[in-house]
Every structure is written in C-alpha cells, then in structure tokens.
Chains A and B, each alone.
Chain A
Amino acid sequence: MSTGTRETQKLTKALPPQMWNRHLVAIAVLTLILIPAPFVLPAAQQAVAVRVLIFALMSIGWNVMSGFGGMFSFGHAAYFGLGAYTSAWLLVNHDVSPWIGMLAGMVVAAAFAVLVGFLSLRYRLKGAYFALATFAFAEMLRLWATNSDFVNRAVGYHAPLRPDASWWYLQFDPGSANYFFAALALTVAALACSVFFLRSRAGQFTLAIRDDQDAASALGIPVMRYKLFAMALSAAITSVAGAFYVQYYLFIDPELAFGSGVSIQAILPAVIGGVGTIWGPVIGACVLGPLSDVTATILRNPPAALSFLQGRAGLDVIVYGVLLIVIVLLLPRGIYPALRKRWSRK
C-alpha cells in the first residue's frame, strides 16, 4: 500500500531459516549481557536505561504496523494511552495487579486498533489520509480523557504507593534494579514476538501485502484480516509500554498518555534506527533515550558560549528534531540498514 518503506524491505524479505535463529540468539546474548547492567550502572543511568527500554518497547510496536505492515501510523499514542489508562484504572479503582491490567490494556488497545483499522481500510484510506486518521483517533481519545469524570479528567491517575515492594504489584523502592529487569523482560518479549511474527505465516503474508497488495490479494491472501492482525499486535505491544510507564513513573495524565508527542516518541526510534527492521527500534531508542540527559547535563554546566541557556528547557527536543531531519535526509533507511550495508561490503 505504501512505497515508503519499500527500500528497507530487502532486509526482512525471504531470510533463510538460520537467519531467524540468528536474530533469536542475538536477543538472548544481548539479554544476558544486559542482566548485570543495574549492578554496574549508577542509579541515574539506570533511569536512562529504563527510559531507553520504554522507548524501544513503544517503537517495536509501531514498527510492526508501520514498518512490517507499511501502514504509517501517526497515532500510536492511542494505544500507549489505552494501555496506561486501562491498567491505571483497574489498579486505582479495583486494586487489580498491573500485570493483569497490562493484559487488559493489550486487549483494549488491540480492540481499538481493529476498530480504527477496520474503518480506515473499509473506507480505503491511504498514505497521508491514513496517517491523519490515526492521528485524529488518538487526539479524540486525549480530548475525551481530558474531559471525562470516568478517568479523572485532566488530573489523570497516581498509582497508589504500597508499604512494601512487590512483584505482584510491580512496585519497588525508587531506583530498584527490579524496574530495569521488568522493562528488559518486556522489551525482550516484544522483540522475540516481532521475530516470531515475521517468521510466521501471518508475518510473511503481512510483508507480501505491504510489498504488493494487489498481487497478495490475487494469490488469495485475505488482505483485510492480516492488516488488522498486524495492527492489533502492534497496538498490544505499544500498550504494554504504556502500562509499564504508569508503574515506573507512578503517574499518568491525558497529555502524557495520548498527546501527539507520545505518537512521535513511538515513531522516532524506529525511523532513526531503521523502519521495517527488527533491530531498528532498539538502536533508535539507544540513540534517543540518553539524549535528554546529555543535553540536560550540558545545560546544567553550560560552556561559556551557551551560558545564557542555563536552566532552560527544549534543547533535547531540538536535538531530536535536527537528528530526525538529518537521518531522514542522509540515511533515509535508518542507522541499522546503513551499518549492515557497511559490514556486508567488507
């Protein structure tokens, strides 16, 4: 349906079976390397690491629909927010464990994605129109949440503090390494999920539909069903990031959940790392996650030339913006494909 990601497709197209295993082995090795990270990193860096993982999780979800499915979403805040709000609502009002809230959020987000997807596909929205429709649905949720007593209006939710740390309620002492382990487990699960999706029939059909919808349809692939499946999976993964966000920051409001900035945060890591590749969102998140801390450090003790900027906000997002423009212009496929190309040439 979209030509946007066609260039990046060669990577995922028709990989031999051992390549899939190589991805899974890489995930396992990376996990093993990262497990001791909290014992090495200082507390402040741990917070950065968790943020990187949340970014990665959101973007892995976005990548399933927009990278593998070729349907450019500008409204993943809807799914992030639904995950966050569903788990927060269940936790605050009914004292339900965030793990169950997370599952419920996945179901709600996937259902909403199927609704949005069905309407958009039924009315044949493409390209810019499709992106604008996804954006509109996310904004509608934001406006509804801001003005509905059902979800505390603009105030949002504070996760109630518990007397003791508990895995069941996913709450630990501030700075506990367990937050990192939980985020790592979720991100690894999402990555593995995207590998398994790609090697499954559904994933191969999704790629076929993205590359040439008419040909896929002519071969008897039910286009609508697999597109909706990709959207639902994508929404479910991104919603997990939302549910975890609430537990980690203990707070959510309509702007943090459904704001257009959230949709942008889901897009950026994948675009910078490489749209439609398994590792793109992870690499992009590793680049973007620490950026705000780097700029904050610079602004706390600015060099003489920048001294007038001391204590001001905004520099981190300026760097995001410039990075986004530069990457799109110079490495339109993203960092990961560019690196791969260099390696394979040697």
Chain B
Amino acid sequence: MSPTSGQPSRASSGASPDDDVAAHDHEVISRGTTRRRYVQRGVIVLILIVAALALAYMRSGSAVVVTQAVVTGILTGGVYGLVAMGLTLIFGVLDIVNFAHGAFLALALFVTFWLVNTVGIHPYVALAITIPVMFGIGFMVQRGVLARAIGKPLENQLLITLGISLVIENTLLLFFGGDPRSVALHGDHALHVFGAVADLSRVLAFAGALLLAGVLYLLLQRTRLGTAIRAVATNDMGAQLVGIDTRLIYALTFAIGTACAGAAGTLVAPLVTIEPTSGDMFNIIAFVVVVLGGMGNVIGALVGGLIIGVTEQLSGLYLPGQSPLLLVFIVFVLVLFLRPQGLFGRTS
C-alpha cells in the first residue's frame, strides 16, 4: 500500500531527484510502519481487553457482574478522563507535575457543597459557577506562584504544587472540619444501561464529562487560543518568536486545566463523600491516566480514563478483598516501565 502513495510527488520533483527520492522513501517507509504499528497496537489492545473480560468472567462466573463492572467502570472513567485531561494539558504545556490538581477538585467539591446547601442552587447549575471560579483561581495561582518557578528544576515545581495542595486541603479542613459531607441530588434514581444498573447522577456525570472533554478538544483544535496553546506545548521558544504571549498562555492553560478539575468536582459531588482529602484519590488516578495516555496527550487522557475506570471496577473481581486501587497501581507501574511514552505515544 505504501509505495504507491509516494509515486506522484516523486515524478513531480525534478531539481535534485536523488535527494528527494531518498527523503520520500524514508517518509513513506515511516508512514507505512506507523500505520502497521497502529494496527498491531490496536490488535494487542483488543486481545488484552478480551482477555481481561474473559478472566473477569472466569473469576466471577456471572456475565451480569462483569457487565455491571464494565458499565460502572466506563461511567466513572469518563470523569477520570476529564480530570486527567486538565492534568495532562498542564503537563504538556507547562511541564509541571501538578500535585495540586486533586486539591483543586476538592475545593470545587466544597464550593459545590456550599452553593447547593447554603445558596440552594441545583448541583448541575453550580457548574456555571464552579468552572469560572476555578478558572480564575487557577489563573491567579499560576500567575502568583508558579510563574515565578518557570525554568526551575522539575523538583522545585513539583514541591510548589505540593505546597499549594497542602495549603488548599488544610484550609478546607480549617474552615469546614474533617466531617464527611454530601450533596443530595433530588430525583436521583437507578437507570438500566445495557443490562446493568447505574444511578442517574453517575450517567449525568459521565455525559457531562464527555461533553466538556469535547468542548476542550474543540477549543484546542479549532480556536486561535487552542492553536496558541498547542504551539507553546510543541515549542515555547518558537511560539514566542511568532508573537505568542507565552506567559499568558501558561496562565490560561493552567486555568483551563484547573477548570477541568473544578468541573469534574461539581459533576462527582453527588457521588462521593466530600472531605478535604477527597481529591487525593482523583489526583493519584489522574497521574496514572496521564502516564497511560501519554503525558500531554489530551485524547489519550480520555481513553486512559475509561481504561482505568474499567480496570478499577474489574479489580474487585480479580483481587477480591484488596483495594481496587492496588490493580490500578500495578497497571501504572507496568506502563511506567514498559511504555513510559504512554499507550498512544510514539517511541522517541
């Protein structure tokens, strides 16, 4: 298939045929192998999925249980994907391993809790407030704190985000106390989805996460801002040379990433117990998802989120009595060792 695609341009180029042919052959070969590699990888992933499901079926002996686990996993995974998209965007553009991402999510949980219980707003309407609020907080945190550490070693930036997360979580603890809270969703009921049972709130969280993920994708691909963000991610010096205000892009990217965490926080508010440390688990899972999807790869983060969501649910069947996170970490370590560039990343 590949040699024919190189044919027309080979004929059209006249000046230095030898060089050009050589260059083209190289390109064609690499294009062919990439395609083959994608097919190979797709087949491997498919085999792994089938094997995982078969094993789950063998362990549980019930198709209903496996279906339930997969549906719950995918629904939860959508939210993980949204959290991880924010994290991976921040990593891709600012090169920061952001340990404060989960704390921002926890902050959004408490803002939602406050809006619902004190102001009396519907949990999903709260999105209209939490997203801009978290965007603003993210912008200010980047401008006020992180911008001063740009160009510093990775560890310094990691430690700063760690400090930010300590400050946020413990400020929440200071003001709200450690008692678990919850947001009630009126009219929440169980739905039947593909032969499994899922709460309406979980389905809505999934739908909302997918919708926002789509919006983020369009923002990155179709707008001037998105193009600028991708340009800075690829080469910040080059972006600066063509007149992009990279400092502004850094702040906006961090703000968008934080808004993702905020949106996810509001979406899951009816599903989780709200505590100052509620975001930690999301932060950990988002790291796993980001590495799985390839650091900086937004679509990879969404797919990785779904994979980790399902993994977490299936682990209850594989390793009964163990925490579902244990298998998530095992997958994480395996990916770190075997495919550190992520499932969809290119070997460089």
A residues sitting closer than 8 Å to B (CB atoms) are 2-6, 72, 74, 119-120, 122-123, 125, 127-129, 131-133, 136-137, 139-140, 143-144, 146-147, 260, 264, 267, 271, 309, 312-315, 317-318, 320-325, 328-329, 332
Instruction: Evaluate contact between A147 and B156: CB separation under 8 angstroms.
Output: no
Chain B min CB distance to A7 (Å): 8
Contacts of A131 in B (CB 8 A): 97, 155, 158
* Chain B residues closer than 8 Å to A129, beta-carbon distance: 291, 336, 340
Among B123-171, those with CB < 8 Å from A are: 145, 148-149, 152-156, 158-160, 162-167, 169-171
- A83 to chain B minimum Cβ distance, whole angstroms, is 21
Q: Tell me the bound Cα distance from A260 to B287 in angstroms.
A: 14
7 pairs, A vs B, C-beta closer than 8 Å: A129-B291, A136-B329, A143-B326, A146-B323, A317-B169, A317-B173, A321-B164
CB-nearest residue of chain B relative to A309?
A: B174
Chain B residues with CB under 8 Å of A146's CB are 323
Q: Which of A119, A143, A313 contacts B174 (CB 8 A)?
A: A313
CB <8 Å contact, A4 and B323: no
B336 touches A321 (CB 8 A): no
Instruction: Please give the distance in Å from A35's CB to the nearest CB on chain B.
Output: 35
In the complex formed, the residue of B with least CB distance to A122 is B337
Main secondary structure of the interface of B (DSSP, over half): helix
Contact A312 B174 (CB under 8 A): yes
Contacts of B287 in A (CB 8 A): 132
Instruction: Give A145 Cβ to nearest chain B Cβ, in Å.
Output: 10
Q: A119-B333, A125-B340, A321-B167 are in contact. List 5 more A-B contacts (CB 8 A).
A: A4-B153, A129-B291, A312-B175, A321-B163, A325-B160
Complex Cα distance, B323 from A97, in Å, reads: 32
With A128-B97, A140-B329, A143-B323: A318-B174 Cβ-Cβ less than 8 Å: yes
For the complex, give the distance between the alpha carbons of A304 and B320 in Å: 53
A66, closest chain B residue (CB) = B155
The interface size of chain B toward A, counting residues with CB under 8 Å, comes to 46
Would you call B159 and A137 a contact (CB within 8 A)? no
> Are B173 and A313 in touch, CB under 8 angstroms?
yes
Q: What 0/1 pattern do residues 324 to 343 of B give for CB contact below 8 A with A?
A: 01100110110011101000
Given known A313-B178, A321-B170, contact A328–B330 (CB-CB < 8 A): no
Interface check B177, CB cutoff 8 A = yes
Chain A neighbourhood of B149, CB < 8 A: 328-329
Give every chain B residue within 8 A of A329 (Cβ-Cβ).
145, 148-149, 160
- Chain A residues contacting B291 (CB-CB under 8 Å) are 129, 132
A323 to B167, CA, bound (A): 10
Whether the Cβ atoms of B174 and A140 lie closer than 8 Å is: no
B residues in contact with A132, CB < 8 Å: 97, 287, 291, 332, 336
Whole-angstrom distance from the CB of A226 to the nearest CB of chain B?
Answer: 21
B152 and A332 contact, CB distance less than 8 A: yes
B residues near A123, Cβ cutoff 8 Å: 336-338, 340
The 7 closest A-B pairs by CB, nearest first: A321-B166, A314-B173, A4-B153, A314-B170, A324-B163, A321-B167, A325-B163
- Secondary structure at chain A's binding surface: helix, strand, loop or mixed? helix
Residues of chain A within 8 A (CB-CB) of B337 are 119-120, 122-123, 125, 133
Q: Is B3 an interface residue when CB atoms closer than 8 A count as contact?
A: no
Q: Which residues of A contact B158 (CB under 8 A)?
A: 72, 74, 128, 131
Contact of B336 among A136, A312, A328 (CB under 8 A): A136
With A329-B160, A332-B156 as given contacts, are A137 and B333 in contact (CB-CB < 8 Å)?
yes
B234, CB-defined interface residue at 8 Å: no
Which B residues contact A (CB, under 8 angstroms)? Answer: 97, 145, 148-149, 152-156, 158-160, 162-167, 169-175, 177-178, 276, 280, 284, 287, 291, 295, 321-323, 325-326, 329-330, 332-333, 336-338, 340
- With A123-B340, A127-B154, A267-B159 in contact, is A143–B97 under 8 Å at CB? no
Inter-chain contacts of B170 with A (CB < 8 A)? 314-315, 317-318, 321
- Is the CB–CB distance between B153 and A264 below 8 Å? no
Contacts of A321 in B (CB 8 A): 162-167, 170
Q: Which of A119, A128, A325 contacts B164 (CB 8 A)?
A: A325
- A143 B340 Cβ-Cβ under 8 A: no
A1 to chain B, nearest CB (A): 12
Chain A residues with CB under 8 A of B154: 2, 4, 72, 127-128
Nearest B residue to A332 via CB reads B156
Closest CB of chain A to B87's CB: distance in Å? Answer: 12
When the two chains form the complex, which single residue of A260, A314, A328 contacts B163, counting CB atoms closer than 8 Å? A328
Closest A residue, CB atoms, query B283: A260
B174 adjacent to A4 (CB under 8 Å): no
B169 to chain A, nearest CB (A): 8
Neighbouring B residues of A74 by C-beta, 8 Å: 158
In chain B, what residue has the closest Cβ to A325? B163
User: Chain B residues near A139 (CB, 8 Å)?
Assistant: 284, 325, 329
With contacts A2-B153, A4-B154, A128-B154 known, is A324 near B336, CB below 8 A? no
Distance A39 CA – B172 CA, assembled complex (angstroms): 40
B336 touches A147 (CB 8 A): no
Given B152, B159, B164, B333, which contacts A136 in the complex, CB threshold below 8 Å? B333
> How far, in whole Å, are A182 and B164 apart by their CA atoms in the complex?
35
A314: min CB distance to chain B, Å: 4
- Tell me, in angstroms, the Cα distance from A70 to B45 when the chains sit together: 36
B326 in contact with A4 (CB, 8 Å)? no
Q: Whole-angstrom distance from the CB of A261 to the nearest CB of chain B? A: 9
CB distance from A112 to the nearest CB of B (A): 14
- Residue numbers in A under 8 Å from B167 (CB-CB): 318, 321-322, 325
Residue of B nearest to A330 (CB): B148
From the candidates A143, A312, A314, name the one contacting B325 in the complex (CB within 8 A).
A143
With A and B bound together, what is the CA distance between A225 and B274 in angstroms? Answer: 46
* Complex: A199 Cα to B300 Cα, angstroms: 47
Please, how many angstroms separate the alpha-carbon atoms of A321 and B167 in the complex?
5
Q: Which of A2, A4, A119, A320 contacts B166 (CB 8 A)?
A: A320
Contact partner of A144 (CB less than 8 A), chosen from B155, B160, B326, is B326
Query: Nearest CB to that of B149 among chain A residues?
Result: A329
Q: B316: shortest Cβ distance to chain A, in Å? A: 12
Query: Which residues of chain B have C-beta atoms less than 8 A from A144's C-beta?
Result: 322, 326
What is the minimal beta-carbon distance from B336 to any residue of chain A, in angstroms?
Answer: 5
Shortest CB distance B268–A (Å): 21
CA of A137 to CA of B145, assembled, Å: 30
